[in-house]
Amino acid sequence: MPAFRTLDDLGDVRGKVALVRVDLNLPMVDGRATDLTRARAVAPTILELAEAGAKVLLLAHYGRPKGERHSTLSTSYLQGAIEGVLGRKLMYISEVSGPVVEQTLAIFGPGDIGLLENTRFWPGEEANDPAFAAAIAAHGDFYVNDAFSASHRAHASTEGLAHLLPAYAGRAMEAELKALDKALGNPQAPVAAVVGGAKVSTKLAVLEHLVGKVQHLIIGGGMANTFLAARGVDVGKSLCEHELKAQVEAIMDAAEAAGCTVHLPYDVVVATEFAANPPSLRTCNVHEVEADEMILDIGPQATEALADVLKTCRTLVWNGPLGAFETPPFDAATMALAKTAAALTREGSLVSVAGGGDTVAALNHAGVADDFTYVSTAGGAFLEWMEGRELPGVAALVA
């Protein structure tokens, strides 16, 4: 893992101004945050800096205001939720730079925390405009990025600032980078990757990267149908991207050349309609799917075989559910394999890292998210990392 500076490398910060990029893009319904996960993730960094006597200015985006002030997307709406999580008062500041910020800092004492306005109210944020970044940087003594989930974007607050001030990874960023390094950067072999979800098309780059990195590539979800179809299996009415046959064949060839075993299900759970516990529900061999049936989960035999694969592995990286897990009983394979991974992790024989919006929901549904070594809530940034891409916000911390 390339070396990046953390809060441990900061000297005395008493009275210094810390510009801290956080992800506070909380889901809100009727003015109330419905999930505080993101605020909880960045609280340790904010409190550590405040307790060390820094004057902390929080930089965050909220929604997609597209470079203009948008009355419903002010960070002021987030203030109460963040104060609740921190157990401390904040000052909301209606700008990100200029005299208002200056005057606020003049009355700030060590340990005070300010929440700057939504960075995306200014076009310079997403354009990564150097003048915009410089205007913000003028207020700070150093920069901390604690927003891994926003670091796949080269924006002023995620990338530009890191070149203008001494830059450090916050505690949440540090934990995420260390976990991801253990999973794919520098993993203990054998490594298994589970890639599921709806479509191959959204994860082609992930699959292409993984075949050169892992010993076992486990394909589930709708994308398994596309792989089966490419091998000549009739998948009936299943969700399937027949047009990707050539790409799927190329991935299987690359896997073979790299010594990576691709695991496809040999039994599946099918139904003629997509509903909870439908009367047409049955389990069959992949070669027995009828023309009017669709594959909605991988079968119990395949799931058991995959559990045996995981038992031989030391590292697991997981993105995408194995079936249509929101609708019972098509959650069965995902639940079972998640529980196996959790048990192996608890025993200490497996390092397990998972990410992706629906994957996190599925692991929570299985009740095992806390048993995994690390669960990333980063979404787009997690997928780009699984594609082996350099994330600009992370790269800027290393440079």
Please list, residue by residue across 13-31, b when 16 or more beta carbons sit within 10 angstroms of its beta carbon and e when fewer do. beebbbbbbbbbbbebeee
Give the x/- contact pattern for ligand ADP in 357-376, rule: CB under 6 A: xxx-----------------
Contact between 357 and Mg ion (CB under 5 A)?
A: yes
Residues 6 or more apart from 219 whose CB is under 8 A from it?
A: 195, 196, 227, 262, 263, 264
Contacts (CB under 6 A) with ligand ADP, residues 307-336: 319-321, 323-326
Contact between 352 and ligand ADP (CB under 6 A)?
A: no
Q: What minimum distance in Å lies between the beta carbon of 218 and ligand ADP?
A: 13
Give the angle subtended at the CA of 250 by the CAs of 353 and 297, to the nearest 5°. 50
Give catalytic residue positions: 38, 199, 357, 380
Listed ranges 178-186, 302-310, 328-336, 352-360: which one lies at the site for Mg ion (CB under 5 A): 352-360
Residues 6 or more apart from 38 whose CB is under 8 A from it?
A: 22, 23, 24, 25, 26, 149, 377
Of 300 and 357, CB closest to Mg ion: 357
Cα 324 to Cα 331: distance, rounded to the nearest angstrom: 6
Of 130 and 236, CB closest to ligand ADP: 236
Q: In what order do the strands lie in the sheet with 216-219?
A: 261-263, 216-219, 191-195, 315-319, 351-355, 374-376
The one of ligand ADP, Mg ion, none whose footprint includes residue 323, by CB under 5 to 8 A per kind, is ligand ADP
Site for ligand ADP (CB under 6 A): how many residues? 20
Contact between 28 and ligand ADP (CB under 6 A)?
A: no
- On the question of a cis peptide bond just before residue 166, with omega within 30 degrees of 0, the verdict is no
Q: What minimum distance in Å lies between the beta carbon of 321 and Mg ion?
A: 9
Cα 390 to Cα 198: distance, rounded to the nearest angstrom: 25
The one of ligand ADP, Mg ion, none whose footprint includes residue 320, by CB under 5 to 8 A per kind, is ligand ADP
Residues 6 or more apart from 300 whose CB is under 8 A from it?
A: 267, 283, 332, 333, 336
- φ, ψ of residue 179 to 5 degrees: the values are -65, -45
The one of ligand ADP, Mg ion, none whose footprint includes residue 321, by CB under 5 to 8 A per kind, is ligand ADP
With beta carbons less than 8 A apart as the criterion, state whether 240 and 270 touch: no
Contact between 198 and ligand ADP (CB under 6 A)?
A: yes
Residues 6 or more apart from 331 whose CB is under 8 A from it?
A: 297, 321, 323, 324, 325, 362, 365, 366
Listed ranges 68-76, 124-132, 196-204, 207-215: which one lies at the site for ligand ADP (CB under 6 A): 196-204
Residue 388, classed as helix, strand or coil, is: coil
Q: What minimum distance in Å lies between the beta carbon of 358 and Mg ion?
A: 4
Of 56 and 248, CB closest to ligand ADP: 248
Q: What minimum distance in Å lies between the beta carbon of 388 and ligand ADP?
A: 16
Contact between 303 and ligand ADP (CB under 6 A)?
A: no
Binding-site member from 358, 376, 381, 392 for Mg ion (CB under 5 A): 358
Listed ranges 25-33, 40-48, 162-170, 354-362: which one lies at the site for ligand ADP (CB under 6 A): 354-362
Contact between 187 and ligand ADP (CB under 6 A)?
A: no
What's the N-to-C CA distance of the chain in angstroms? 13
Contact between 295 and ligand ADP (CB under 6 A)?
A: yes
Kindly list the residues in this chain that would bind ligand ADP in the complex (CB under 6 A).
196-198, 202, 221-222, 239, 295-296, 319-321, 323-326, 356-359
Contacting positions for Mg ion (CB under 5 A): 357-358
